[in-house]
Amino acid sequence: PLQRGLDKFSKKLSLAILALSLVILGIQLFRIYLGGGTGDLTADIVSAVMFAVAVAVAAIPEALQSIVTIVLSLGTNKMAKRHAIIRKLPAVETLGSTSIICTDKTGTLTQNKMTVVDYYLANGSTGDFTDDPKKWTDDERRLIEISVLANDASISEDGTKLGDPTEVAFIDFSEKLNQPYQEIRNNYPRKAELPFDSDRKLMSTAHNIDQGHYLFVKGGPDIVFARSKKVLLNGEVVPMTEELMKQFKEQNEAFSNKALRVLAFAYRPIESPELSFEDENDLILVGLLAMIDPPRAEVTQAVKEARSAGIKTIMITGDHKTTAVAIAKEIGIFAEGDQALTGTELDELTEDQLNEVLEKVTVYARVSPENKIRIVRAWQTKGHISAMTGDGVNDAPALKQADIGIAMGTGTDVSKDAAAMVLTDDNFASIVSAVEVGRNVFDNIKKAIAYLFSGNLGAIIAIVFALVADWSNPFTALQLLFINLVNDSLPAIALGTEKAEPATMKRPPRDPNSGIFTDKTLISVTYRGVLIGIAVIFAQWLGMQHSPEFGVAMSFSTLIWCRTLQTFPARSNTQTAIQAGFFANRSVLLAVVVCSALYCLTMIPGLKEVFSIPAAFGLTEVFTSIGIALVTIILMEITKLILVHVQKEK
């Protein structure tokens, strides 16, 4: 949004300045034609052209590009300290415009520390699992065996747990029950595997047991239920009945209502370890394991803060719908009147139907990578700036499609390459924190731009007035270049380090189609520019009482001091420099000191002549120009206080 806004703004500004310069040049040439020149036609034309060029120099903020880049860079530094690494510079500001955050659940909203807390078998066994393997029933033993064998996690010699948190939870469970997981794997080595993928939602491995070949399967309960034709009941394989399936589904629903994540486990004998996807049918259902992944402590507050900032949080997960809704309710994402959709239900909706329910859906369960892309596109069609999180290879297209793709620090390199931002701590709260920085960055860019244009407008007003009043040009081209390139840059950059306004996360996201200058900003720039222009005109008039050269020197000095001291009121749109903390931003104080020192250099004998300052121009004139500038700054601050008070009264 910032790039588009600056592009449009720059084009309009360029045309406006060109038109203004040509009009001023035309007026001066017309005066020369009427005999209003000095008599030296060449000198008069050159002077007229220089005058028109001076207007362009005064109006164009030459340092704007570099200032915007520097402020964005400062924003990336702040975000990095908050665990958000920016890979693409414009993403800093885009994040501040975000109105939708589509986030994964596991690890982002939750702690990603899975722990098995319950189980269920066909005979109705549930609750606590005995920690004596010798007392396990055949059903219990087979459940543990499948959970350990259809599993890629491991524990290194130094105790480091490696692998997916869900799979780590299963080997932890086995170890906790005094059954070393490695012992099971040594007894039944893996011969082949069908890795998990997001479409099948299954993982299968082949093993030799008692001189036979067996396929062990783990996956989403609804998927495994649909593929199971038999069930292991008290050590015997019996046909699956409607009653048994009903009991399994009810127990799965009961676990899910407790915000537990559930996986189902099944097996079947196979003729050879040469596996195909067809082997994952006609399964023998064994049981369920239920795990809990507690929400992060800070997530509930982060979701609340996002809502107060006008940002809608949407949970996207591979979990069962009931589990996802239960967790979403707990952390404040799912509220009364909201809806949840599964990936299958989403696929059945037409684009028009999706648009109708889109704003009510806060939870998507059992989704595919294609579903993620569709969700993002649907929000973008409605004109929202959307952020999407992801960590897998399959998430890369959705991360690329989103306005802000956010990869997890623990994710794949492919997802990180496709993303604009990487979360080093995989924490949703870090996204909300980064949004605040993004909003602050845009605010600071606007403050810097407003600061530059207020000063530039003041200079233009003074130049145009001098033209109309038939005074000499109040500035030389060198003076204007000195102010724009040297004196203005440091204060504008310093404004880029300003802390966030008190209400930064209390206002809705800005409209991405809105321009750089909103109505309030334009009014502020105009008001400050007019004050500066009047101050410079008054200063030139005072100086002209001595000589035209003194008038130019007074204009130059007053404009410098007005623009330098204007840094203080430019720090905040709602607070005075005192209210914001006069010493809170040391960069601003340093910028003002350096700019003051640079001005003092122009007063050194030898340099005075270079900057067209008369030798007799001394401390009296300097302090007079400072006094005039202080009056304008005080008026700016008083006006701000009055406007804030009036707004509160409303």
**Residues with catalytic roles:** 104
Instruction: Round to whole Å and give the CA distance between 514 and 635.
Output: 29
- The residue among 547, 644, 559, 645 whose CA lies nearest residue 602 is 559
Displacement of CA 534 from its chain's centroid (Å): 41
- How many helices, marked H, and strands, marked E, lie in the chain? 24, 18
Q: Classify 275 as helix, strand or coil.
A: coil
Asked whether the beta carbons of 524 and 450 are under 8 A apart, the reply is yes
CA dihedral 371, 377, 381, 385 (to 10 degrees): 120
* Structural Rg of the chain based on CA atoms: 35
Instruction: Round to whole Å and give the CA distance between 141 and 238.
Output: 18
Query: What tokens were used for 245?
Result: 């399936």
- The residue among 570, 572, 574, 571 whose CA lies nearest residue 648 is 574
Q: Which strand (E) or helix (H) includes residue 317? A: strand 312-317
DSSP 646: H
How many other C-beta atoms can be found within 10 angstroms of the C-beta atom of residue 547?
A: 12
If 0-12 CB within 10 Å is exposed, 13-18 middle and 19+ buried, where does residue 232 land?
A: buried
Query: What tokens were used for 631?
Result: 């009056």
Contact partners, residue 277, CB within 8 Å, separation at least 6: 194, 200
Instruction: Round to whole Å and give the CA distance between 243 and 256.
Output: 20
Residue type, 588: V
Contact partners, residue 454, CB within 8 Å, separation at least 6: 524, 525, 528, 529, 532, 563, 566, 570
**Regarding beta strands 212-219 and 202-209, do their DSSP bridges make them parallel or antiparallel, or are they unpaired?**
antiparallel
Could you give the C-alpha distances from 584 to 73, 497, 640, in angstroms and in order?
21, 11, 19
∠ Cα 471 474 478 (to 5°): 140
Q: Which strand (E) or helix (H) includes residue 251? A: helix 242-257
Q: Which strand (E) or helix (H) includes residue 144? A: helix 138-149
Asked whether the beta carbons of 267 and 284 are under 8 A apart, the reply is yes
Could you give the C-alpha distances from 262 to 107, 203, 204, 371, 586, in angstroms and in order?
16, 15, 17, 22, 54
